[in-house]
Amino acid sequence: MRYTNDMHEMHTVPDLDVKQIRLIAELTSLRNISAASRKIGLSQSAASHALAKLRKRLGDPLFTRVGHGLQPTPYGERLGTTARQALDLLVAGFGSNRPFDSRRTTRRFVIYANDVGQTVLLPRLIAFLKKEAPGATLRAPPIPLENPGAALSAGDVDLAAGFFDNLTTGFRQSLLFRERYVCAVRSNHPKFRGGMTLEAFKTCEHAMADATGMAHAAIDRFLAKNGIQRNITLRVPGFLVLPMIIASSDLLAVIPSRLAEAFVSHLPIKILPLPISIPPFDIRLYWHERYHHDPALTWFRKAFVELFRDN
């Protein structure tokens, strides 16, 4: 068969039906005509016939045979990505006026939150869902260091809660609360029997969490402006382990206040202010604008804000 590029220069939308658009999207994702045909409810022969018609209609092979699967052409790849986006928007549009029944839902809500956010937010959120949406479940996957917005844009993650400086274009947000850092030491630490002093802070050995991508990265900048350099002897990947470590050592940790409050009644630690004033930072809720009108996520966002927003 001879293919031309005439259709590439079309300025009108081709007359394709929804199953043809779904076929393009699923073939781009699955790379297998048998799997794609099952996904959209066609026989394999019907799917092959539809693909042949698409190739002729669009003037491009779209997919070529590679081993036991199919590989999209550059045009097929672009078309498949666009088809998937169009279908997602169409599904969201049809469902946008459908009322959400939290009592009957079995939806799994997926949120990004770091270790502190999980400790502070998840217990109350789980208790709320158990009461208001007993069939719903929660998942908190690891947050990727690069491009966390991709999963939110694709709909694989519903919300992100915390301090994110890389969720901007295409995202909406709502302020939950302002957080501040405090010092935590063991209850009978000899350097802090009389409270916090600048000298005790400077001479104490410190444990700290990795600051990559976190508000925590600003702490040492503010300290340095005041001529203070911490004596850091322990670094760990996250905050969650720090309260347990300082409870049985002479180390000091600078941690978010809500994390300290979550542990102070369970461990022999005490909370002290920093020796200098450091500005608080905002904890926000983020979601992609593509899902702003999704009924389930509208309900979930509203509940999230009502649970955690400072009044």
Tens-place pLDDT, residues 23-59: 999 999 899 999 899 988 889 999 999 999 999 989 9
Confidence of residue 103 (pLDDT cuts 50, 70, 90): very high
- Mean pLDDT of the region 284-306: 94
At 211, list the tokens: 């600051």
Give the closest residue to 288 by CA, choosing from 164, 143, 139, 168: 168
Q: Which tokens hold the place of 190?
A: 């000899």
Structural Rg of the chain based on CA atoms:
26
Domains in the chain: ranges and CATH = 6-95 (1.10.10.10), 108-178+283-308 (3.40.190.10), 181-279 (3.40.190.10)
Higher pLDDT, 156 or 212: 156
Q: Is the pLDDT of residue 8 over 50?
A: no
- When pLDDT is cut at 50, 70 and 90, the band that residue 3 belongs to is very low
> What is the per-residue pLDDT for 68?
84
Model pLDDT for residues 270-288, shown as the tens digit of each residue: 999 999 988 899 999 999 9
pLDDT of residue 113: 94
For residue 213, name the pLDDT band (cuts at 50, 70, 90): low
- For residue 279 the two structure tokens come to 């500005």
> What confidence tier does 13 reach under pLDDT thresholds 50, 70, 90?
low
Percent of the chain with pLDDT strictly greater than 70: 92
Mean pLDDT is lowest, of 123-132, 143-152, 170-179, for: 143-152
CA–CA separation, 226 and 278 (whole Å)? 11
Strands 181-186 and 252-256: antiparallel
6-15, 177-186, 251-260: the lowest-pLDDT one? 6-15
For 39, 51, 63, 220, the CA distances from 46, given in Å and listed in that order, are: 13, 9, 16, 64
pLDDT in tens, 59-89: 999 999 998 889 999 999 999 898 888 888 8
Of the candidates 16, 26, 25, which has an alpha carbon nearest to the alpha carbon of residue 57? 16
190 to 193, 196, 261: CA distances (angstroms): 6, 11, 22
- Interatomic CA distance for residues 83 and 202, integer angstroms: 59
Q: For the CA atoms of 215, 217, 219, 223, what is the dihedral angle to 10 degrees?
A: -150
pLDDT at 6: 43
Read off the pLDDT of each residue in 199-222 and give the average, rounded to a whole number: 82
d(CA 84, CA 40): 13
What average pLDDT is seen over the chain? 88
- Quickly state the pLDDT bin for 146 (edges 50, 70, 90): confident
CA distance 258 to 66: 54
Average pLDDT (186-202) is 95
Q: Has residue 132 got a pLDDT over 80?
A: yes
The answer on pLDDT for 155 being more than 70 is yes
